[in-house]
Amino acid sequence: MTVNSEQSPQLQETKANFNPNLKGRYRFDRVFKTISWIATFAGIVVLTVLLIGILVSGLSSLSFDFIVNPPSRKPEIAGIWPPLIGTICLLVITALFAFPVGVGSGIFLEEFSEDNLFAKAVEINISNLAAVPSIIYGLLGLFVFARIFEPVTGGRSLLSGGLTLALLILPVIIVATREALRAVPDSLRLAGMALGATRWQTVRSHVLPQALPGIMTGTILALSRAIGETAPLIVVGAATFVPFAPELSIKGLQSSFTAMPIQIFSWVSRPQDGFHEIAAGAIIVLMLVLLVMNGSAIWLRNKFQSNR
Amino acid sequence: MTDSVLPQSLGDSARGDRWKPNRSLSKLTQKLIVLLFGAFAFVSVATTIGIVLTLIFETIEFFLEVSPWEFFTGTRWSPTFANPRFGIIVLLCGTFLTSVIGLLVAVPLGLLSAVCLSEYAPRSLRAWLKPALEILAGVPTVVFGYFALLMVTPFLKTFIPGLSTFNSLSAGLVLGFAVLPTIASLSEDAIFAVPLSLRQGSYALGATKRETVTGVVLPAALSGIVASIVLGVARAVGETMIVTLAAGQSPTLTLDPRSAVQTMTSFIVQITKGDAPYGSIEFKTLFAVGMTLFVITLVLNFFSFWFVRRFQEKYE
Amino acid sequence: MQSQTSQSSPVVDTERVFHVQNTDYYYGSNLAVRGVNLEIPGNKITAFIGPSGCGKSTALRCFNRLNDLIPSAHIKGRITYRGVDIYDKQVDPIELRRRIGMVFQKPNPFPKSIYDNIAFGARINGYQGDMDELIERSLKASALWDEVKDKLQNSGLSISGGQQQRLCIARAIAIEPEVILMDEPCSALDPISTLKIEELMHELKENYTIIIVTHNMQQASRVSDKTAFFNAEATEKGGKVGYLVEYDDTQKIFSDPQQEQTRDYVSGRFG
């Protein structure tokens, strides 16, 4: 220890009751900090390895033919056209159903419902649904949409699959809508009503436009979760081999379907390496679609935040 | 706004002629909208009711054919064989094994990541790390399944002798990384919300940063952390594609992580991938297994609710 | 004791616990308090008073280097504790804080049992004696023992605000500090709880040196032996910078202040 001119810059311990052991404690601090950094990067390292591994084995199979060809028993000529179109159709059906119902529920709960039993039940119910495994929604879809409503949906069809996914993401959209509505200042509502507008007129023309970017962000994120879902679609009855893209008609809605995750699942489950490579190729396409969707959601969110 | 200032019942205003508000129409619209949106809100309740009714209905059918005794105590599972056996313990064991391995990865890594993001990472780095974890959370599970089966298992095989092509070890490890973002993100929210005054109180007593984190901040965030772990457990138990692809389809009662198992979820996939006809015993078995899975997540949910209510501390 | 501390006359070190010499307090490049010269005597209560934003809390938080937690906060000058420069590289803030306890504006008990609230600081600092005995001694010293002795395992948040604040005092004295810093300890409390804390402070000064920041001038005049009056003035950049106006015996500050500003403030003309 260097000795200062005035006095040693060490605090003299006057009481013997304490054994602070600062050296040991600091060592433990450093160890803990290091471990927590390692833990944080573990997830990121795994993500990186996964992405690079898929790029390495999948890039070679990407081509124009791969996109527009139907699946085949021969991996060299197999493509992803029907599942890609299937995923897009599912996305549209899911959005058409889940968006209005989810946003409507959100508006109802946030703007029109008093603190009554129904509102409370819905609230508890929504947080409960968040923990229900997606495969259970598949069983619901199988029983209700594919079996009970078979005359309408055509059984294990595109429509049944889309509706099942819609139910799955409904809670997410409701929560996003409520949060977006809550962020709109109350003064706006009071101003609207003070002009003699009804609550709905105020909500429609003032509150909703303000909340829309937030609602859209939440909806896109929910939809991007939906198109990655595999289990509920398998359970509802997605076919693993569909040679044609569905028709754009009522009949098309009622026809059997497949989707990108299903196709990937089917190819990964086969023993041949050739199928594994095209599975990686299909994963790249699926991840690109997800990237575009998430990117637009983040773009919307940032634009929204900077405007405030 | 096209509507007006004073309703007729308040008497004609001086400018009364120029304002023709259609009050009854806008009130009617509002009523219809509230009714419609209320019905929409009911859809989510109906979903729960639908799930419960569906599962109960087919499960009762199932138990008319299979004795509950065999279901809960049998040690063999072969519902599709000529001589079917229905011991759910086999599937529970498979789910237990993959979930435990997954949680052994996800809980410590998730909590430490949460601590690091909230307490150690500088703001600028945090702005990059959180989205990276969100990307990990957004990876479809079928992609994780590919990763487990075709990348992790071959890698583990190089140094673990006796590892079969399908095994619960690789499935569990990857499952852990799929669940990690859920635990990390929700715990981080809880840790971040601990008021600064508690941290200051701890530092003022001569605590180091680590002592403040583990001695004061983590206990103060306990209810949120437990809720995040419970949700992580529910995710692990209900996860389907990773275990279906990487842990195999062989219903064996084993706790050996090197061998193949079948979980509840991968059984459901196995049956529905084929075309189980309505009314067949396979079809009913699906729902009995689904019911078991649902009850487990329900119990976890109730535990989480109870715990948060019991231990949540209110700070000013 | 001396009347004006701006000129530092020699004082025995055991008497003079803190010596602040010509110190400026900064947040980043913003000067928060300028040119403070101050000596804190041992086993006395020193009160810091002044209008909001005058930097009295900032000055207080530098005595145990709690402001180190704000990355941009730093000082220029010299603050010594028993002759040791507390901002010297070799002084460990962790060790310093064990020696200088602190009680905050709002009661901030940890969400643990009453027992563990007190035991926490003692455990981490490697307390060698009997823990139960230390808990009892600390609670008695903070006049809380009789009220909580039957519910030591209850949560520290389950007791009333005044009790919580006394628990925080017990927590601070359990690690046997020499100094207790109090940052407006009664501002969140009702008058009866405030009175109890003030009585407690009188007892505590037998064994501890106390520095208290307060908004409440009556409180300063009731409890303190010495009073430092801080004021703030506007800067050219539109900010505020605090400075020490006057520091003297409390009786003198309140009855015969040397500075005009002090006279105006203690007579309630501003602030």
Please write the tens of the pLDDT for every residue from B116-166.
999 999 988 988 898 888 889 989 999 999 999 999 999 999 999 889 999
Subunit contact A113:B180, Cβ cutoff 8 A: no
Q: Which residues contact A251 (CB under 8 A, 6 or more apart)?
A: none
Subunit contact A22:C81, Cβ cutoff 8 A: no
Confidence at residue A306, expressed as pLDDT on a 0 to 100 scale? 56
C-alpha span between C46 and C107 (Å, rounded) = 21
C-alpha span between C58 and A107 (Å, rounded) = 47
Confidence at residue C8, expressed as pLDDT on a 0 to 100 scale? 42
**CA–CA min distance B240, chain A (Å):** 6
**CA–CA min distance A172, chain B (Å):** 11
Query: Strand pairing of C45-49 and C209-213?
Result: parallel
Structure tokens at A20: 């602070």
* Percent of chain A's residues with pLDDT above 70: 91
> If you average pLDDT over residues A87-104, what whole number do you get?
94
Subunit contact A15:C128, Cβ cutoff 8 A: no
Confidence at residue C2, expressed as pLDDT on a 0 to 100 scale? 40
C-alpha span between B217 and B313 (Å, rounded) = 12
At residue A132, the 3 state secondary structure works out as coil
CA nearest to C161 within chain B? B316
**CA–CA min distance A10, chain C (Å):** 6
The full set of domains in chain A, from first to last, is 83-306 (1.10.3720.10)
Which residue from A8, A15, A22 is facing C176, i.e. has the nearest CB? A15
Which residue from A4, A10, A17 is facing C128, i.e. has the nearest CB? A17
Residues in chain B with CB shorter than 8 Å from the CB of C101 are 204-205
Q: Which residues contact C53 (CB under 8 A, 6 or more apart)?
A: C232, C240, C242
Q: For chain B, which residues make up each domain, given as ranges?
A: 88-311
C-alpha span between A127 and A136 (Å, rounded) = 16
Residue owning tokens 């009866």: C192
Please write the tens of the pLDDT for every residue from B208-242.
999 999 999 999 999 999 999 999 999 999 999 99
Residue ranges, chain C, pLDDT below 50: 1-13
Q: Which amino acid is at A306?
A: S
Subunit contact C126:A20, Cβ cutoff 8 A: yes
Neighbouring-strand partners of residue C75? C25
- Per-residue DSSP letters for B142-188? HHHHHHIIIIIHHHHHTTSTT--SS-HHHHHHHHHHHHHHHHHHHHH
| Residue A2 pLDDT greater than 50, yes or no | no
**Does the beta carbon of B214 lie under 8 angstroms from any beta carbon of chain C?**
no
Residues in chain A with CB shorter than 8 Å from the CB of C85 are 4, 9
Subunit contact B208:C121, Cβ cutoff 8 A: no
- The chain-wide mean pLDDT, for chain A, equals 87
Residues in chain B with CB shorter than 8 Å from the CB of C172 are 204-205
Pick the CATH number of B88-311 from 1.10.10.1110, 1.10.10.60, 1.10.3720.10, 2.60.40.1180: 1.10.3720.10
CA nearest to C122 within chain A? A18
The full set of domains in chain C, from first to last, is 16-104+180-266 (3.40.50.300)
Query: Strand pairing of C30-41 and C179-183?
Result: unpaired
Which residue from A57, A122, A283 is facing B41, i.e. has the nearest CB? A122
- H helix or E strand, kind and range, residue A281: helix A273-306
Chain centre distance of CA B100: 15
Give chains near A: 3+ CB pairs under 8 A. B, C
* ∠ CA A38-B221-B296, rounded to 5°: 90
**CA–CA min distance C81, chain A (Å):** 9
Subunit contact A135:B268, Cβ cutoff 8 A: yes
**CA–CA min distance B255, chain A (Å):** 24
Please write the tens of the pLDDT for every residue from B239-251.
999 999 999 998 9
Across chain A, which distance is largest between two alpha carbons, in Å?
95
Q: Contact, B102 vs B176, CB < 8 A?
A: yes
Give chains near B: 3+ CB pairs under 8 A. A, C
Q: How many CB atoms lie within 10 A of CB B10?
A: 8
- In 3D space, the residue among A90, A23, A26, A6 whose CA is nearest the CA of residue A261 turns out to be A90
Please write the tens of the pLDDT for every residue from A151-205.
888 888 899 999 999 999 999 999 999 999 998 888 888 888 888 788 888 888 8
Chains A & B: contacts with CB separation below 8 Å:
270
**Does the beta carbon of B308 lie under 8 angstroms from any beta carbon of chain C?**
no
Chains B & C: contacts with CB separation below 8 Å:
71
Give chains near C: 3+ CB pairs under 8 A. A, B
